[in-house]
Amino acid sequence: MRDWRVWASVCFCASLLVAVPAAAVDLTGGSKVKLADKDGTAKDMAAVSFVQDAAIADPLPDPTTQASRARISSEDGNAGWFDLDMGSWAPAGTAGYKYRNKEGAVLSVVLTTKAGKGGKMIVKLKGDLYGPAALAGPEDHVELRLEIGTTTYCGRFETGTSEVKQNLAGKVLMKGPSIACVTPVPKRVFRTSATYTGDLGGLGGADATCQARADAAALGGTWKAWLSTSAENARDRITDGHYTLVDGTIVANSLADLTNGGISHGIDRDENGAPLTSDHVWTGTLEDGTWYDSDCVAWTSASASATAVIGYASYSDKRWTDGHRTADCSYTGQRGVYCFEQ
């Protein structure tokens, strides 16, 4: 199942940005999560509620004076963060805040506390939340994150823990309990500063090239190339994780997010964190991370008669890996390799 990248992550835990929030609040009082995908229309919806949750406690962070954002994610991906308009927040009595905005993807948020009964959080979204990725279903989890200043609330509904009422393509309904969100393992990525023909010495030679470039930049770790052949898909070669450039810029939140038709930021820096002088990249790989029958004879040929799929490091849509499918394997001077930390 692919992680869909058009959701506002229903996991309110530690931030996935470069700076990690100082306070992470794990929500285990999840009451209900409901998702609906209307096939790429503006009628997609999501609603998540946490009630009588002891983790939601005073003092609450004040969203009227600091930035806030929300994100929902599931097994089929996420849409990235949705920024919340500071002016759309207002106090809710004497113990909380409410958010209302009919123009944005996040329609409303309720964040309140009540003495002796814990806190409440309700988040509702509407719009083309899933885009081309679609909520394929069934989903093994749904997560919600709400970040206010340096505080991130996070709750996760899972099929093995939560009560599943409906879990189909285009529609998910689960009831609590919720559990703490899963924090992905950070993994760095870069495109090589050096460029090559399509004869990379096979997958093994390309992996060795990635390792050598990483070692030269003193990055540490073990590295593999983002390449596919008929024997092995790129997505099966790399470790799942939270992918960032070497400077910490987020690329994708998971392998499923990486292979969902687009990424959060192009892989446009080399192993030293420097901007690229050319953005062409050998891949042999489609947007879903699988092989396409164009790979410079399994990355062993520099013949002008052989071709391969290339991507473009400056793009964050599917062209980051699937930009042109008949690139000449003899070409020199522009095409590098994506390298992923394992």
User: Is residue 11 pLDDT above 70, yes or no?
Assistant: no
- pLDDT tens per residue across span 168-226: 988 999 999 999 887 778 899 999 999 999 999 999 999 999 999 999 999 999 999 99
- Could you tell me the residue ranges of all domains in the chain? 23-175, 186-341
Q: What mean pLDDT do residues 107-121 have? A: 93
Please tell me whether the overall predicted TM-score, pTM, comes out greater than 0.75 for this model.
no
Which pLDDT score, from 0 to 100, does residue 175 have?
95
Question: Tell me: the pLDDT tens digits for 289-321?
Answer: 999 999 999 999 999 999 999 999 999 999 999
Q: Quick one: average pLDDT of 236-255?
A: 90
- Mapping DSSP onto H, E and C, the string for the chain reads CCCECCCCEEECCCCCCCCCCCEEEEECCEEEEEEECCCCCCCEEEEEEEEEECCCCCCCCCCCCCCEEEEEEECCEECCCEEECHHHEEECCCCEEEEECCCCCEEEEEEEEECCCEEEEEEEEEECCCHHHCCCCCCCEEEEEEEECCEEEEEEEECCCCEEEEEECCEEEEECCCECCCCCCEEEEEECCCCCCCCCCHHHHHHHHHHHHHHHCCCCCCEEECCCECCECHHHHCCCCEEEECCCCEEECCHHHHCCCECCCCCCECCCCCECCCCEEECCECCCCCECCCEHHHHCCCCCCCEEEEEECCCCEHHHCCCEEEEECCCCCCCEEEEEEC
Residue 60 has pLDDT above 90, yes or no: yes
CATH code assigned to 186-341: 3.10.100.10
Task: Give the pLDDT confidence score for residue 67 in this predicted structure.
Answer: 94
**Is the predicted pLDDT of residue 10 greater than 80, yes or no?**
no
Q: What is the pLDDT of residue 78?
A: 62
pLDDT digits (tens, 9 = 90+) for 257-294: 899 888 989 999 999 999 999 999 999 999 999 999 99
> What does the pLDDT read at residue 279?
95
State the chain's mean pLDDT as an integer: 88
Question: pLDDT class for 132, splitting at 50, 70, 90?
Answer: low
Say what the pLDDT of residue 199 is: 98
